Amino acid sequence: MIVPVILSGGSGTRLWPLSRELYPKQLLPLVGPHTMLQETVMRLSGLEGLEAPMVVCNENHRFMVAEQLRSTEHSPSAILLEPVGRNTAPAVAVAAIQATGDGRDPVLLVLPADHIIQDAAALRSVVKSGVPWAEKGKLITFGIVPRGPETGYGYIRADKSRPLYLSKVNDQVPMVNNDFTNDQGQMTNDATAYAVAEFVEKPDLATAHSYVNSGEYYWNSGMFMFRASRFLEELERFAPEMLASCRRALEGAGRDLDFVRLDADAFTACPGDSIDYAVMEKTSDAVVLPLDAGWNDVGSWSALWEAGGKDADGNAILGDVLTRDVRNCYLYSGSRMVAAVGLEDHVVVETADAVLVAPKDRVQDVKHIVEQLKAQGRGEALLHRRVNRPWGSYECIDSSERFQVKHITVHPGASLSLQMHHHRAEHWVIVKGTARVTRGEETFTLSENESTYIPLGVNHRLENPGKIPLEIIEVQSGSYLGEDDIVRFDDKYGR
User: Residue 191: what pLDDT?
Assistant: 53
> Top-level CATH class of 2-296?
alpha beta
Q: What is the mean pLDDT of residues 344-362?
A: 96
Bond from prior residue into 17 cis (ω within 30 degrees of 0): yes
Query: Is pLDDT of 383 > 90?
Result: no
Topology given in CATH for the domain delimited by 386-490: Jelly Rolls (2.60.120)
User: Residue 493: what pLDDT?
Assistant: 79
Instruction: Write down the pTM of the prediction.
Output: 0.84
- Please report which confidence band the pLDDT of residue 173 belongs to, taking 50, 70 and 90 as the band edges: very low
Distance CA 334, CA 336 (A): 6
Look at 175 and 362; give whichever has higher pLDDT: 362
Q: What is the pLDDT of residues 126-150, one digit of tens each?
A: 999 999 999 999 999 999 999 999 8
Q: What is the mean pLDDT of residues 228-234?
A: 97
Query: Is pLDDT of 242 > 50?
Result: yes
Strand partners, 82: 58
Query: Is pLDDT of 174 > 60?
Result: no
Q: What is the pLDDT of residues 421-460, one digit of tens each?
A: 999 999 999 999 999 999 999 999 999 999 999 999 999 9
Strand partners, 143: 220, 290
Task: Supply the mean pLDDT for the chain.
Answer: 91
Q: What is the pLDDT of residues 319-335, one digit of tens each?
A: 999 999 999 999 999 99
User: Residue 12: what pLDDT?
Assistant: 74
Residue ranges of domains in the chain? 2-296, 307-369, 386-490
What sign has the CA pseudo-torsion 43, 49, 52, 57? negative
Q: What is the pLDDT of residues 269-313, one digit of tens each?
A: 999 999 999 999 999 999 999 999 999 988 899 999 998 889 999
